[in-house]
Chain A
Amino acid sequence: MLEVVVKLALVAAAFAVLPLLVGQIEHKVMAHMQGRLGPMYAGAFHGWAQLVADGVKFVQKEDVVPAAADRRIFKLAPVVALVPYLLVLLVVPVGPRGQVALDLGPGVFFALAVMGVGVIGAIMAGWASANKYSLLGGMRVAAQLMSYELPMVFAASSVAMAAGTLSLPGIVGEWRWYWLPWQAVGGVVFFVAGLAELRRPPFDMPVADSEIIFGPYTEYGGLRFALFILAEYAGIVVLCALTTVLFLGGWKGPFLDAELGWLWTLAKVLVLAFLVIWLRVSYPRLREDQLQRLAWVWLVPLSLAQLALTGVLKVAVG
């Protein structure tokens, strides 16, 4: 019982800290890539406390619900967007020999299913706001869902085939270095599809601030808006963690896997998070139809080819 409580506390702590860490890294990395300094004052040392200051500000802000909105759904939406990402962290292993909060048998399936629930939050927000921009944004969220979910599921099941198990610690246990080239296509497909799920640039057309004014979040302000933004960064952590566990060998590193496993996991997650930020700085926003095309003409066939490759090699070699 005590073990379960400690693990739940650790998961909650990781959920509270890692998204803020990624957010702060994004502030600084983006700034330096654009020849700026980024936050410099809050907390004195290179603005490390900027997001804490933001949180203090958000918590004091007025909670405005538009008169035309569907009140209850409007207020509930940020919670639906945020909590699923916490639940996914439950099944992500950080190290060998039971360093996972919950070794769930159908782990991959659970992670993908629960991660999908977060998207419902954005659709709820888009519909409940009773705002034309929000409605457009919500429709775009739904359109995006059609495109990325399928290649993501195919890519993940390719790894499950290679490992012969759905449990995430089991998959990392089976992982060998030659999976990197073997599952490379699936890994790229999974990561790109994940970016689309998180509505991160270059796939941020549902929130497109310069055309539909943050889409589903137009009417939100104060703490509820902050919860949506937190959900975005929690989503980055979850996507990077799942990519690490499924495709990059999780806790396995060049040496000292048993002792430093958690450090390898964390390092891989942060490198991927850096990549997510780098893509945001580098690429312009796609159109919704371009994403649909990318998904159905490239990602789905590529992930099907990956399935075939995985199956043939697994049977031929094994």
Chain B
Amino acid sequence: MQDYFHTYGVVAALAAVGGALVAGGLAANRLLRPSRPTTEKLTTYECGVDPVGEGWAQSYVRYYVFAYLYVVFAVDAVFLFPWATVFSAPGYGMTTLGEMFVFLAFLAVGLAYAGKKGVLSWV
């Protein structure tokens, strides 16, 4: 447990270093830059004409089915990592390999079904 916290302590330390690097750059920027805001300068950019309506428009997310598909597959994929480290350990061998093909078959059938349903094309 000691090692565990030490390990991620190093990660946190580097994150702090990264934050400090960026903050240092932005602080230098603050000292060196001019600041002359005008109304025109602060308008939203829309090719030089006055912006029409709001930037946050409602839109149709055309790829939402991909999003579902992705979430389902990604949840499966996460379990590959712990399994990958032990699957060929002595005493597992053929059993785990059989399980792998069951897993792959599930994914392949799911993908084929999605393809057959016409989900894998942009609507």
List the B residue with the shortest CB-CB distance to A159. B84
User: A164, B29: Cβ atoms under 8 Å?
Assistant: no
Question: Are the CB atoms of B122 and A79 closer together than 8 Å?
Answer: no
Q: CB-defined interface of B43-68 with A at 8 Å, one 1/0 digit per residue?
A: 11111000100111101010100110
Could you tell me if A8 and B14 are in contact, using CB atoms closer than 8 angstroms? yes
B74 touches A150 (CB 8 A): yes
Q: Which residues of A contact B43 (CB under 8 A)?
A: 66-68
Q: Known interface pairs A146-B67, A288-B122. Does A59 touch B81 (Cβ–Cβ under 8 Å)?
A: no
Asked if residues A315 and B93 are in contact (CB atoms below 8 Å), the reply is: yes
Which residues 157-199 of A have a CB within 8 angstroms of B? 157, 160-161, 164-166
**Which one of A59, A90, A312 has the greatest number of beta carbons of chain B within 10 Å?**
A59
Given contact pairs A166-B85, A296-B111, A157 touches B80 in the complex (Cβ within 8 A)? yes
* Residue A63 at the chain B interface, CB threshold 8 Å: yes
A interface residue count range (under 10 / 10 to 19 / 20 to 34 / 35 or more): 35 or more
Do A143 and B14 touch (CB < 8 A)?
A: no
Is A60 an interface position by the 8 A CB rule? yes
B17 and A12 within 8 A (CB):
yes
Q: Chain B's nearest CB lies how many Å from the CB of A63?
A: 6
How many Å lie between the Cα of A66 and that of B56 in the bound state?
14
Which residues does chain A contribute within 8 Å of B41, judged by CB atoms? 64
On chain B, the number of residues with a Cβ less than 8 Å from chain A's Cβ atoms is 69
A127 to B54, CA, bound (A): 12
Dominant SS at the B interface?
helix
Q: At the interface, is chain A mostly helix, strand, loop or mixed?
A: helix
Q: Are A83 and B85 in contact (CB under 8 A)?
A: no
Which A residue's beta carbon lies closest to that of B56?
A130
Is B42 touching A67 in the complex (CB atoms < 8 A)?
yes
B2 interface residue (CB < 8 Å to A): no
State which of B33, B86, B87 has its C-beta within 8 Å of the C-beta of A62. B33
Q: Would you call A223 an interface residue if the criterion is a C-beta within 8 Å of the partner chain's C-beta atoms?
A: yes
Q: Give bound CA distance, A241 to B107, whole Å.
A: 30
- 10 pairs from A and B in contact (CB 8 Å cutoff): A4-B13, A8-B10, A61-B33, A63-B33, A82-B22, A102-B7, A131-B45, A164-B88, A300-B73, A308-B100
Chain B interface (Cβ < 8 Å from any Cβ of A): 7, 10-11, 13-15, 17-19, 21-22, 25-26, 28-30, 32-37, 39, 41-47, 51, 54-57, 59, 61, 63, 66-67, 69-70, 73-74, 77-78, 80-81, 84-89, 93-94, 96-97, 100-101, 104, 107-108, 111, 114-115, 120-122
Beyond A64-B37, A129-B44, list 19 extra A-B contacts (CB 8 Å).
A4-B10, A8-B14, A62-B33, A63-B35, A64-B41, A66-B43, A67-B39, A86-B17, A102-B10, A127-B56, A146-B69, A161-B84, A164-B84, A164-B88, A165-B85, A296-B69, A301-B111, A315-B93, A315-B97
